[in-house]
Amino acid sequence: MAQTYDFRSVERKWQQRWEERALYRAPDDDGREKYYVLEMLPYPSGDLHVGHAKNYSIGDAVARMHRMLGFNVLHPMGWDAFGLPAENAAIARGIDPNVWTRENIANMQRQIRLMGTSYDWSREITTCDPAYYRWNQWLFLRLYERGLAYKREAPVNWCPHDRTVLANEQVIDGACWRCGHAVERRNLSQWFLKITDYADRLLDDIDELDGWPERTKTMQRNWIGRSTGAQFAFAVEHSDRKIGVFTTRVDTVYGATYLAIAPEHPLVTHIVTDKQRNAVEQFVESLRSKSELERTSLMEKAGVFTGAYAVNPLSHERVPIWVTNYVLAEYGTGAVMGVPAHDERDFDFARKHGLPIAQVVVEPGSDLETPLAAAFVTDGRLIASGDFTGMSSERARSAITERLHALGAGEATKNFRLRDWLVSRQRYWGTPIPIVYCDRDGEVAVPDDQLPVRLPANVPITGEGSPLARDADFINTTCPKCGGPATRESDTMDTFFESSWYYLRYIDPSNEHVPWSAEKVAQWAPVDQYIGGAEHAVLHLLYSRFFYKFFHDQGWVAGPNEPFTRLFHQGFVLYNGEKMSKSHGNVVGIDETAETNGVDAMRLFLLYVTPPEDTGDWTDEGISGRVRFINRVWRACEPFLERAGKTSLADLPPVETPAEKELLRAVHVAAKSAMDETGSRRFHYNATIAKFDEYVNALTTLEQNAPDSVAVAYAVHALPVLIAPFAPHIADELWERMGHARSVHLEPYLRPDERALALDELTLVVQVNGKIRARLQVAPGISEEAALELALAQGGVQAQMDGKHLRKRIFVPDKLLNLVAN
RNA sequence: GGGGAAAUGGCGGAACGGUAGACGCAGCCGCCUCAAAAGCGGCCGGGCAAAACUCGUGUGGGUUCAAAUCCCACUUUCCCCACCA
């Protein structure tokens, strides 16, 4: 009587054993080729559910495959431990954020171990450890020294609910990415990182990211948003002031009939006439409190005439200056020339306010002015444009730009949608920004030997104002330069700062002298395969690329200047078609699943239910299919273990019957699938696992008909090797019971053997005019002539060929014969 | 408004120019059992009692000896950006 498989005790046993033996340590100096596979580090929110488990199941399968293929695999794990939820727990329940975070980490670490994942825990990092955030501060100071970290007052995104500012990337549809509240605009003095200095390189280098999903690259391109054009100035009439404008359509400059400036434009108060002052001030005031969302997508175009006029530097025409709600202060120069004939927005605005519409570009070939029902926005031929009349738009753009340059009025330039990264946060649970303010010396960097600036404990967190600003012991300090009294910066860093470089710290996690040693990084970086959610396309993934390019410029990393060679976005997991959420009480947790189904079955199901990049639906019926599979594997192997262990996997066993050959073929088809899905980086292990189903079905069948066959023993022996990356516990248990002393995870993966994949007999499809009329069972390598002879003997083929003349034959060896006849 | 991805049985999906629907889930029939569960065997796109035949991969065209697969247009869904001049 076969024993039933007790997944609970087996899974527990192997998790302990692997850890005792440090089976997944990645040694630094090693002759093998390196492979760095990384899953995005989790925020320790409390409990893991099967959605997290999907991410780790993919990464772990990839890591285990590569280990068995002979690579030295670096597969680390850590904790993105600073952030607002810890602080909100403190506000709501009076728990110390540090205690809350540490408890969550302990629990989630237990759960990740419970999954039997192959992480090298000796490299674990926790970003809220002073030993980690010290290097955050150190890196901030290096950015500061090079002018890439700076403080300035600017209109910023303010979330009234989370009571902090947000980076542009963290505002989604005008709302806070974390809590969903509408974001307000405030003028505040804040720390920024000058990511815009890297805008060109961040954009251009996307072309070389062959291993990244197209949509992610497109999102980054859109987000960076480079536009090339010209910047030039209109002189303000009766004044020595000038208003700069940026345009991508300088060919339409003769069609400018007004100037539109942003309400925050610094010249507004200077140029407005006394008569218009009241109206303009009211208009500006009405917009000041509006959120970005209200000011842009939701509002109609509006504006007020300033009373002032500007002079077009080329046509010398006099045009009115309007303050409008549709020009952004933060982009370009904060002012645009209004060309209603050739810009949809300007057309709208001109219609509404009765401004003239002057067409200066016409359809090429027609050369006739057409009455405009809408803006004519495509390129064409210039009319009424002085010396430039008759030129194509394209030629005019360079000619006009040259003229503006010659006149000293302007030049070719480019603008980016990307803004500098706002990294200050008015919150407690983050890395303190290592700057002090001194009455005598101003802004002073904390010297390296005084790092880390420690985050004080026991700070009251009420949700009102910046907690650190109220902590006198923390705030009051002495100036590192003059020794006089000084105050510390009370803001902390955006948590995306620490996650922009953590992948390098895993390489050298306990270095106390530098964030990482250049030699070790040269050995391991960049990350070969990165796995994580698509929601970070313009957040973490953009910031990390910026940091890595900076590190590269400093000579701290060598080789490619991109941190992640290949990127894979896993899909979500739904439960019965619905999004899992705590409030709906429909979260499928890892603990319950491990207890009721086992983690091997859970991992197999997560990989099997859909291709990994797609959204998968967790159902109780679905997981039971994989539980059945695990049990089938056990029952198919258990009675044959002793014999199986004595067979050799180094070569194919001698077999005779078609059923035996079929089983060997099923073994090697599965091996080939696992190899192909790994090598192609498609990771469609759903297809591989389906091949395991066929493998075990074929094995079970042969066991019933010919239990003594050497093919049975061979197939049983090979099974744990092949499923090890996907169901690691049962694999090692079977392997051990076969008499092997060493873990199956140290074995080489079984390479598919062409001889086993070859068929003795195959189906050759016979088509007449592209329609299937017969299927022939033939030996491989059958000649075209022999196939034709057999085909013409088929009744179905004869019926179709009757009375027709064979005009052409298409023969695909071992696949099909198509007879074209009429 | 601009851009990206996708559409295959009751469901998830397989097939990456050459046998559509592998594999699994659900369902139906049978075996085993006193019975149930588990397990095992069979059926499972539509039309037909069945075979033959025929229709069939969102819709319409095209390329090809041959299209789920390549191209064009449309429809729908999802995602991203969105007054960026």
What value of ipTM does the predicted structure carry?
A: 0.94
Distance measured from the CA of protein residue A1 to the C1' of nucleotide B33, in angstroms: 18
**Residue that has been written with the tokens 């600073």 in this structure:** A82
User: Nearest CA to A255 among A369, A375, A385, A347?
Assistant: A385
Looking across all nucleic acid strands, the nucleotide with the smallest C1' to CA distance from residue A325 is: B83
The CA distances from residue A114 to A48, A53, A178, A732, in Å, are 11, 11, 29, 16
The Cα A65–Cα A745 span in angstroms is 9
Pairing of strands A435-438, A442-445: antiparallel
Rg (CA), chain A: 34
Nucleotide nearest to A215 (CA to C1'): B4
pLDDT at A1: 35
| Phi and psi angles of residue A406, each rounded to the nearest 5 degrees, phi first | -60, -35
Asked if strand B comes closer than 7 Å to A538 Cβ, the answer is yes
**CA of A449 vs C1' of B68, distance in Å?**
65
Say if residues A703 and A636 touch (Cβ distance below 8 Å): yes
In whole angstroms, B67 C1' to A632 CA is 39
- How far apart CA A550 and CA A149 sit, in angstroms, is 12
Nucleic strand B contact set for A 407-466 (CB, < 7 Å) = 415, 417
Which position has the higher pLDDT, A21 or A364?
Answer: A21
Nearest-CA residue relative to C1' of B64: A770
A646 CA to B36 C1' in angstroms comes to 41
pLDDT of the residue at A454? 97
Q: Could you tell me which of A343, A202, A196 has the C-alpha nearest to residue A260?
A: A343
Q: Using the CB atom, is residue A534 less than 7 Å from strand B?
A: yes
Per-residue pLDDT tens over the stretch A320-362:
999 999 998 888 999 999 999 999 899 999 999 999 999 999 9
| Residue whose Cα is closest to the C1' of B41 | A701
Q: Pick out residues 696-725 of chain A having their CB under 7 A from any atom of nucleic acid strand B.
A: 697, 700-701
- Per-residue model confidence (pLDDT) at position A397: 94
| Long-range contact set of residues A469-477: C-beta below 8 Å, sequence gap at least 24 | A474/A432, A477/A436
- Packing angle, helices A599-608 and A7-20, rounded to 10: 90
A206 vs A822 pLDDT, higher one:
A206
Residues 756-775 of A with CB under 7 A from strand B: 762-763, 765, 767, 769-773, 775
- Of how many residues is chain A composed? 822
Closest nucleotide to A214's CA, by C1' atom? B4
- 296-325 on A, CB < 7 Å from strand B: 296-297, 299-301, 325
Question: How many Å apart are A680 CA and B63 C1'?
Answer: 29
Rounded to 5, what percent of chain A is helix, strand, coil?
Answer: 40, 20, 40
Residues A289-297: what's their mean pLDDT?
Answer: 65
Please write the tens of the pLDDT for every residue from A21-44: 999 999 998 899 999 999 999 999
Average pLDDT over all residues of chain A = 92
> Gap from A692 CA to B39 C1', in Å?
20
- Residue A338 CA to residue A320 CA, distance in Å, equals 10
Strand B contact with A682 (CB < 7 A):
yes
> Does residue A33 reach within 7 angstroms of strand B, measured from its CB?
no
pLDDT at A298: 59
* A297 nearest nt, CA–C1': B83
Nearest residue (CA) to C1' of B82? A297
Burial class (CB in 10 A: 0-12, 13-18, 19+), A201: middle
Q: Are A495 and A531 in contact (CB under 8 A)?
A: no
Estimate in Å the CA A229 to C1' B76 gap, whole number.
38
Q: What is the mean pLDDT of residues A567-592?
A: 87
Q: For the residues A448-456, what does the mean pLDDT come to?
A: 96
φ/ψ of residue A316, rounded to 5: 60, 15
Stretch A418-447: mean pLDDT, rounded? Answer: 94
Hey, what are A818's tokens? Answer: 């198509």
Rounded CA-CA distance A643/A159 in Å is 67
Backbone angles phi, psi at A543, to 5 degrees: -60, -40
Among chain A residues 795-814, those with CB within 7 Å of any atom of strand B: 796, 808, 810, 812
Q: Determine the 3-state secondary structure of A129 from DSSP.
A: coil
Residue A261 CA distance to nucleotide B3 C1' (Å): 29
Residue A3 pLDDT > 70: no
Report residues 148-187 of A contacting strand B, contact meaning Cβ closer than 7 Å: 172-173
Backbone region of residue A483 per phi and psi (left: phi > 0; alpha: psi in -120 to 50; beta: other values): left
- Looking at residue A705, its amino acid is N
Residue A381, beta-bridge partner list: A362, A392
Peptide bond just before A452 cis, omega within 30 deg: yes
CA of residue A761 to C1' of nucleotide B51, angstroms:
26
Residue A775 CA, nucleotide B18 C1', distance (Å): 13
This prediction's pTM? 0.93
Q: Characterize A567-593 residue by residue with b for buried, 16 or more Cβ atoms within 10 angstroms of its Cβ, and e for exposed.
A: bbbbbebbbeeeebeeeeeebbebeeb
Nucleotide nearest to A418 (CA to C1'): B84
Residue A536 (CA) to nucleotide B80 (C1'), in angstroms, measures 12
Name the residue with higher pLDDT: A779 or A803: A779
Q: In terms of Cα–Cα distance, which of A448, A487, A437 is closest to A134?
A: A448
The residues, ordered by sequence, that sit 6+ positions from A717 with a Cβ below 8 Å of its Cβ are: A644, A645, A647, A649, A738
Asked whether residue A579 carries a pLDDT value surpassing 50, the answer given is yes
**Least confident stretch, A441-445, A488-492, A693-697, A759-763:** A759-763
Name the nt closest to A327 by C-alpha to C1'.
B83
How far is Cα A557 from Cα A343, in angstroms, rounded to an integer? 46
pLDDT at A231 > cutoff 80: yes
The nucleotide minimizing the C1' distance to residue A626's CA is B24
Q: How many angstroms is C1' of B77 away from CA of A298?
A: 25
pLDDT exceeds 60 at position A2: no
Round to a whole number and report the distance in Å from the CA of A624 to the C1' of B8. 25
Å separating the CA of residue A766 from the C1' of nucleotide B18? 10
CA A773 to C1' B45, in angstroms, rounded, equals 20
A705-748 pLDDT, tens digit each? 899 999 999 999 999 999 999 999 999 999 999 999 999 999 99
Q: Whole-angstrom distance between the N-terminal and C-terminal Cα of chain A?
A: 65
pLDDT for the residue numbered A293? 63
Asked if A372 CB < 7 A from strand B, the reply is: no
State, as a whole number of angstroms, the distance between the CA of A777 and the C1' of B65.
22
The nucleotides of chain B lying under 7 Å from a protein CB are 2-5, 11-16, 18-20, 22-26, 38-41, 52-54, 65-67, 79-85
Q: How far is the CA of A219 from the C1' of B2 (A)?
A: 13
Q: How many CA atoms lie within 13 A of A354 on its CB side?
A: 2
Q: What is the pLDDT of residues A109-149, one digit of tens each?
A: 999 999 999 999 999 999 999 999 999 999 999 999 999 99
The reported pLDDT for the residue numbered A174 is 75
Nucleotide at minimal C1' distance from the A682 CA? B16
Nearest protein residue by Cα to C1' of nucleotide B66: A770
Using a 10 angstrom Cβ sphere, with 0-12 exposed, 13-18 middle and 19 or more buried, the burial of residue A236 is buried
